[in-house]
Chains A and B, each alone.
Chain A
Amino acid sequence: MIALSHLQKLEAEAIFILREVAATCDNPVLLYSIGKDSAVLLHLAMKAFSPGKPPFPLLHVDTTWKFREMIAFRDETARRLGLELIVHINQDGVKAGINPVTSGSRIHTDVMKTQGLKQALDKYGFDAAFGGARRDEEKSRAKERVFSLRSADHRWDPKNQRPEPWSLFNTAKKQGESFRVFPLSNWTERDVWDYIALESIPVVPLYFAAPRPVLRRGDALIMRDDERLPLLPGEVVETRMVRFRTLGCYPLTGAIESDATNLTDIIAEMRASQSSERQGRIIDHDGTGSMEQKKQEGYF
């Protein structure tokens, strides 16, 4: 008898979840945020429906402030795999001039990401959206079910989640309700990197260390990806060997100084690290319970 390794078990569980949604929901979509977790999720979706293609499109909610390399990688990935890619931008937010520099991280994220996502889900009538979120990322995520039911206005009710025994997912929902589905719920950051290495999954080059133009703002090293980020008095752009542990809007994503230019180095660096991957995310630190608050409002 062959015993499955821990990664094989996680892989089988994720594929099961992907197929379950495809079979029971009318109009699923894969939230493709371009990062490493999305890369793994997409890779698993390709496997789940092989030799066919995943029976759902990819959706990217573009805040217009992503790293340029992310956008290039996104388009190339959709082309390489021959998948439909929907890009949605909250035009109301663009018209209102919302941006992470002057509007602040909280408003920018709410308008361009959370509201943008709701707009896109409503516009296309998606009733299930896959996300690459993992329970080890953040404490309120640790409490979320694999199938997370959202009301017609996309709210999450953490105190009234459906029990979810074994691998029996209750996929019934009322008109207007939808699911956020997390096939990578039980993966850790390390599992994601180990799997990327094992399966040679392409990821955005920003994860690997390279000389990049950065400035120091507070505790964070911010990469100046284009001219829209104004320099504050005394700030200078200098070239440093840096990489990113997570990817988001470039003015809100801190780089780390690193010489890890390949997967082996990244995995070794991660294991030696004393800080969590979300440390570089500025939006998580708005206060205790802030992620839970955002999720209740409809953030992924």
Chain B
Amino acid sequence: MTALNVRQRASETALPGDGPANDDGLHARSLLRFITCGSVDDGKSTLIGRILFETGAVFDDQLGALQRDSRKFGTQGTKVDYALLVDGLSAEREQGITIDVAYRYFSTPQRAFIVADTPGHEQYTRNMATGASTADLAVILIDARLGLLTQTLRHSFIVSLVGVRHVVVAVNKMDLVGYDRAVFDRICADYRRASANLGFTQISFIPISARDGDNVTSPSDAMEWYRGEPLLAHLETVSIEAGPDLHQGTVLPVQWVNRPDSGFRGYSGNLALGHLRTGDEVAVLPSGKTSRVERILTPAGDTSHAAVGQALTVTLTDKIDISRGDLIVSAAPRPNLRRSLRARLLWTGETPLALGDRYGLKLASGQVNAVVTTLHHSVDVTTFAEIAATSLATNDIGAVTLDLDKAIGTLPFAASTELGGFILIDRISHETVAFGFVDEDAPLPATTNSGPAGAFGAVLAALRRRIGPAGSLTRSELAGLLCGNMLASLIPAGLVYGLTGSLSWALLVVAADLLLRPLVLGGAWAGARRLWRRRQSRNQLASENVLGDGI
């Protein structure tokens, strides 16, 4: 059957999509982003091509070109090769493989869809991970004749790693196994077993034939034993609600400081977590300063209540120093500030990971320098086993510890993609050398070489967390204050010890002095601090939209 005949047939029965010929008016629809992945020749591109075609997202002039191209490059004999609709680069058409992610768009009256068609080849894993990272759902294709392949496991692992929680396993080429239910059932059981530890919240299985269209947009006559929905109907209705929030707070990464004139000072960014209301008490990380939300500006104007994902500009009731890379967060709970991260890396660089080298680390809108101090192990992406490793090459995955030159606010990747996902950037080539996933949210661990240890270390670490990173305003102020106080307290303590000979009395005097003196000095100190801050803020105005030593 030619493509045009199929079109006519489809037109007579009304297209399932709302491309040409379906007019449903302007109304709000939801958006589903999904990725298709599978091995070479699993029929991914064919499947997407068919969905695009049957939802009416392919136009006649494109169809004409498709028929010409099918004769020239096609792999389906005299049939129209739908894969050619999506393989966009010349090299891909010539080699008949997908190299890079292709994004395609179609919609039905229920939903708008963005499909990332991603390459199956192992050498293009980073392209696949790119496509998967923004997906709500993954369609994993399995060739019914071949069953699970190592590729299937690798794709499932990557999809899980970058945060996809909903999976559809499409068992394709059912026509080539006689539409045999036993084959399908065996593959389902195999996949369930293999993916048990990947953290998917939902896995659906659908037997299809992408080439002939069975169970793609309409039910299959040849597989009446399958009682579930066809693939498209499933994608239209599947709920992609995230699970319960693992972090209950609000996070707005400051992307841009908006200061059109002296009368307005706003902080712009997309709300990464939670919701924000005018009047909410907020804190700024890493400084820890607090204020309240004064105004919230959205693309639709002022609002009193903003939802996650919205592009916002907020103003605060207090004038405090905030720059790009800072986080505006709910007063509680807040993300932890960390100088050291446990994370997994997916290495995307051409040159392997070098322990001890400095990389740029970009997380949300912030950028710091990072050194990978320890490579704990790498992960075999087909058996999911941990293996000893000394480096990571392209497409390798490993667990590492990173030391940062400044503290940043993070959450585990499982709790927040925005606060737990990062990239590493080579400082010379500027290549994106790794995707990173923050693993655990332990408090600041003591640094390995120079850091303090034991209970004292824990107190210092807690203090450091309270007062911000090295070099920050609060930290130098506080350190000076504490040292000065301690020294000053020694004088009366020495006097008491000399007079009474009692160590406990002397210690009591030190403690009382340390506690009371700040109260007395507090007023004078606050005045001095105001002056200092004014000077500091003048210096900072010029640099606040610039990344800290940007690379």
Chain A residues at the B interface, C-beta cutoff of 8 Å = 1-12, 15-16, 19-20, 22-24, 44, 47-53, 135-136, 138-143, 158-159, 161-168, 170, 172-174, 185-186, 188, 190-191, 194, 197-198, 267-268, 271-276, 279, 288-289, 292
Given contacts A9-B309, A162-B431, contact A272 B21 (CB under 8 A): yes
Q: In chain B between 36 and 61, which residues have their CB closer than 8 angstroms to a CB of chain A?
A: 59-61
Q: Could you pull out 9 A-B pairs where Cβ atoms are within 8 angstroms?
A: A8-B309, A24-B547, A48-B311, A135-B104, A159-B99, A185-B103, A188-B105, A288-B93, A292-B89
Nearest CB on B from A287, distance (A): 10
- State A258–B361 Cα separation when bound (angstroms): 53
Partner of B270, one of A16, A164, A289: A16
Chain B window 160-188, contacts with chain A (Cβ cutoff 8 Å), 1 for yes, 0 for no: 00100000000000000000000000000
Q: B357 CB to closest chain A CB, in angstroms?
A: 16
Query: Would B310 and A136 count as touching, CB distance under 8 A?
Result: no
A52 CA / B315 CA spacing, docked (Å): 14
CB of A47 within 8 A of CB of B103, answer no
**Docked-complex contact B61 and A15, CB < 8 angstroms:** no
The CA of A4 and the CA of B21, in the complex, are separated in Å by 27
A170 to B258, CA, bound (A): 22
In the complex, how many angstroms separate the beta carbon of B329 from the nearest chain A beta carbon?
Answer: 18
CB proximity of A193 to chain B, nearest CB, Å: 9
In order of increasing CB-CB distance, the 4 nearest A-B pairs are: A52-B260, A139-B88, A5-B28, A165-B133
Assess the A172–B311 pair: CB atoms within 8 A: no
Known: A6-B111, A10-B31, A19-B255. 5 other contacts (CB 8 A): A16-B269, A52-B259, A162-B431, A272-B23, A279-B61
B23 touching A271, Cβ below 8 Å: yes
Q: Which of B301-342 contact A (CB under 8 A)?
A: 305, 307-311, 313, 324
Choose the segment among B419-427, B459-467, B470-478, B525-533 that binds chain A (4+ C-beta atoms closer than 8 Å).
Answer: B419-427
B107 A190 Cβ-Cβ under 8 A: yes
Contact of B421 among A48, A142, A165 (CB under 8 A): A165
Instruction: Pick the residue among A16, A51, A273, A279 that contacts B264 (CB under 8 A).
Output: A51
Q: Is the CB of B69 within 8 A of A288?
A: yes
A170 surroundings in chain B (CB, below 8 A): 362, 423, 425, 430, 432
CB closest chain-A residue, reference B111: A6
Choose among B88, B133, B324, B360 the residue with the greatest number of A CB atoms under 10 Å from its CB.
Answer: B88
B356 within 8 Å of A (CB atoms): no
Which residue on chain B has the smallest CB distance to residue A22? B256
Which residues 109-167 in B have Cβ within 8 Å of A in the complex?
Answer: 111-112, 114, 126-127, 129-130, 133-134, 162
CA–CA, A19 to B91, complex, Å? 34
CB neighbours (8 Å) of A191 from chain B are 112
CB distance from B155 to the nearest CB of A (A): 16
Q: Does A142 lie within 8 Å of B103, measured CB to CB?
A: yes
Does B365 belong to the interface (CB within 8 Å)?
yes
Are A276 and B61 in contact (CB-based, < 8 A)? yes
Known contacts A4-B309, A50-B313, A166-B133: does B30 contact A16 (CB below 8 Å)?
no
Q: Contacts A11-B299, A163-B127 given; indicate if A168 touches B362 (C-beta within 8 A).
A: yes
Pair A186/B545 contact, Cβ less than 8 Å: no
The residues of B with any CB-CB pair to A shorter than 8 Å are: 18-23, 26, 28-31, 59-62, 65, 69, 72, 85-91, 93, 99-105, 107, 111-112, 114, 126-127, 129-130, 133-134, 162, 255-256, 258-261, 264, 266, 268-270, 275, 297, 299, 305, 307-311, 313, 324, 348, 360, 362-363, 365, 417-418, 421-423, 425, 430-432, 435, 545, 547, 550-551
Q: Which residue of A lies closest to B306 (CB)?
A: A2
Of A3, A172, A268, A271, which contacts B30 at CB under 8 A?
Answer: A3
In the complex with contacts A172-B551, A292-B89, A135-B421 CB distance below 8 A: no
A12 and B105 contact, Cβ closer than 8 Å, known pairs A5-B30, A271-B21, A288-B93? no
In the complex, what residues of A have CB within 8 A of residue B348's CB? 163
Determine whether the beta carbon of B100 is less than 8 Å from that of A163. Answer: no
Q: Which single residue of chain B is at the shortest CB-CB distance from A293?
A: B90
Q: From A138, which residue of chain B is reached at the shortest CB distance?
A: B88
Instruction: Considering the complex, give the chain A residue whose CB is closest to the CB of B19.
Output: A271
Indicate which residue in B29, B85, B103, B551 contacts A6 across the interface (CB closer than 8 Å): B29
Q: Considering the chains assembled together, what is the distance between the CA atoms of A295 and B307 in angstroms? A: 38
Q: B307 — nearest CB in chain A belongs to which residue?
A: A2
- Interface residues of B, dominant DSSP: mixed
- The answer to whether A168 and B422 touch (CB under 8 A), given A4-B309, A292-B90, is yes
Quick one: given A49-B258, A143-B100, A166-B421, are A271 and B88 in contact (CB under 8 Å)? no
Q: Which one, B130, B134, B307, B430, contacts A4 given CB within 8 A? A: B307
Task: Check A268 against B432 for contact (C-beta < 8 Å).
Answer: no
Bound CA span A276–B61, Å: 7
- Is there an interface contact between A276 and B88, defined as CB atoms closer than 8 Å? no
A48-B311, A140-B88, A163-B348 given; A168·B107 CB < 8 A: no
CB-based contact A5/B29 at 8 Å: yes
- Among residues of A, the one whose C-beta sits closest to the C-beta of B309 is A4
Do the beta carbons of A142 and B102 come within 8 Å of each other?
A: yes
B126 touches A163 (CB 8 A): yes
Out of B22, B105, B130, B550, which one reaches A186, CB within 8 Å?
B105
Query: Is A142's CB under 8 angstroms from B255's CB?
Result: no
Asked whether A143 and B255 contact (CB < 8 A) given A7-B28, A163-B127, A267-B26, the answer is: no
Are A23 and B88 neighbours in the complex by a CB distance under 8 Å? no
A190, B105: Cα distance in complex, Å:
11
Chain B residues whose CB sits within 8 angstroms of the CB of A158 once the complex forms: 89, 100
User: Which residues of the other chain, A, contact B308 by a CB distance below 8 angstroms?
Assistant: 1
| Among candidates A143, A272, A275, A276, residue contacting B102 with C-beta atoms closer than 8 Å | A143
Q: How far is the CB of B351 from chain A (nearest CB, A)?
A: 14
Bound complex: CA of A136 vs CA of B405, how far in Å?
42
The minimal Cβ–Cβ distance linking B99 to chain A, given in whole angstroms, is 7
For A11, A24, A162, A168, the residue with the greatest tally of chain B CB atoms inside 10 Å of its CB is A168
- A166 pairs with B89, CB closer than 8 A: no
Contact between chains at B105 and A172 (CB < 8 Å): no
Out of B26, B72, B261, name the residue touching A194 (CB < 8 Å).
Answer: B26
CA distance A47 to B256 in the complex (A): 13
Given A23-B324, A23-B365, A165-B421; A142-B258 close (CB under 8 Å): no
- Which residues of chain A are near B256, meaning CB under 8 Å? 19, 22-23, 49
Q: How many Å from the CB of B426 to the closest CB on chain A?
A: 9
User: Known contacts A15-B311, A194-B26; is A274 also within 8 Å of B59 by CB?
Assistant: yes
- B105 surroundings in chain A (CB, below 8 A): 135-136, 186, 188
CB distance from B24 to the nearest CB of A (A): 8
Q: Report whether B59 and A279 are in contact in the complex, using a CB–CB cutoff of 8 Å.
A: yes
CA distance A194 to B23 in the complex (A): 13
A12-B432 contact in complex given A1-B275, A172-B425, C-beta closer than 8 Å: no
In the assembled complex, the CB of B22 is this many whole angstroms from the nearest CB of chain A, namely 7
Complex: chain A residue closest to B266, CB-CB: A51
Residue from A51, A165, A186, A273 having most chain B Cβ neighbours under 10 A = A165
For the complex, what is the distance from the CA of A185 to the CA of B116, rounded to whole Å?
13
**Cα–Cα distance between A11 and B275 once the two chains are bound (Å):** 18
Partner of B62, one of A53, A163, A197, A276: A276
